[in-house]
Amino acid sequence: MQTLVGEYPTTRLRRTRLTPVIRAMVRETELSVKDFIYPLFAVPGKKIKHEISSMPGVYQLSVDEIVRECADVHALGIPAVIFFGIPEHKDEVGSGAYAEQGIVQQALRAVKKEVPELMLITDVCLCEYTSHGHCGIVRGDEIVNDASVELLTKEALSHAQAGSDMVAPSDMFDGRIGAIRRVLDANGFQNLPIMSYAAKYASGFYGPFREAAESTPKFGDRRSHQMDPANSDEALREVAQDIMEGADIVMVKPALSYLDVLHRVKQQFGMPTAAYNVSGEYSLIKAAASKGWVDGERVMMEVLTSIKRAGADMILTYFAKEAAQVLKK
């Protein structure tokens, strides 16, 4: 788009900023509660509501509490949640991820019954379920690709069978979108959409999440599958390949240090595009606000607006409930 602008003083750019009414008339980006997806952490047990110390206002919840929370979320007008699960037992192959009585599977069935209108998305990854904390199977010092993808297809199918409305693979292994698509289709779930964590970076901003999901790797890191923060052309290749393999929605994650990537992805592909406003991005604001260094509500709304302005159609955010309340005012 070519920008034409008149010369001062004929043109005074402040004219459209002088009152709240005219500011609202020319506003280009409008946040809506319909943009939000709220992450939830399911744990075994009953009546458990355990606050994550690094994420004030975010809790590990037992299934009964998840049902209550989902009713609240739905009442606020938030259209969707995404479930993460912390299993009773972890093992080398993450079998809790694809168990019929797995924690996410239980949460799905319970919430489907009580809050049927809420869209239930499930994060598909093994890191919360493996004893070593890696996203797949480990052999020697390698996190192996193809054998891990097979387990991820089992996890996605298991979520679908328990009532997931959309699966969201977050592992960043090669070929998993196509593999999951084939397994879902072969089992009658050809209408179940896939939201791919397509350009997911090896980021320090996941620190608080790993406390919440108890998924910190016991050795090594995730740099052999998650992307190098220095790259953005490569993100376009990742997204392109996931689209070719059948992704319905593509995600960029984290959001704030990657708004340029988000913008490029939206411009290049015009796909429904999600951004994950991750745990560390939440904690930074909460910490600064608690010290009185920033106005927490104001920077929350500024950050969410910037993510939408950059090109996100939807935002996964721990701020969803708070922002929904602000938007209601």
- Residues in contact with ligand PBG by the rule CB under 6 A: 123, 125, 127, 170, 206, 209-210, 222, 278-279
Q: Which is nearer to ligand PBG, 71 or 299 (CB)?
A: 299
Residue nearest to ligand PBG (CB): 209
SS3 percent helix, strand, coil of the chain, rounded to 5, is 45, 20, 40
Active site residue 253: yes
**Which of 253, 266, 286, 321 is flagged as catalytic?**
253
Q: How far is the CB of 249 from ligand PBG (least distance, A)?
A: 15
Q: DSSP for 73-139, please give it.
A: HHHTT--EEEEEE--SS-BTT-GGGG-TT-HHHHHHHHHHHH-TTSEEEEEE-STTTBTT--SS-EE
Q: How far is the CB of 125 from ligand PBG (least distance, A)?
A: 3
Q: Which is nearer to ligand PBG, 65 or 211 (CB)?
A: 211
Identity (one letter) of the amino acid at 286? K
Q: How far is the CB of 8 from ligand PBG (least distance, A)?
A: 45
Active site residue 34: no
Chain Cα centroid distance, residue 77: 18
**Which of 90, 200, 286, 308 is flagged as catalytic?**
200
Q: How far is the CB of 142 from ligand PBG (least distance, A)?
A: 18
Q: Which is nearer to ligand PBG, 189 or 282 (CB)?
A: 282
DSSP character at residue 239: H
Q: Which is nearer to ligand PBG, 83 or 189 (CB)?
A: 83
Q: Which is nearer to ligand PBG, 79 or 85 (CB)?
A: 85
Closest CA to 213 of 23, 60, 46: 60
Phi, psi (degrees; rounded to nearest 5) at 298? -65, -45
Q: How far is the CB of 68 from ligand PBG (least distance, A)?
A: 22
CB atoms within 10 A of CB 296: 17
CB atoms within 10 A of CB 17: 11
First to last CA, the chain: 35
Give the active site residues.
Answer: 200, 253
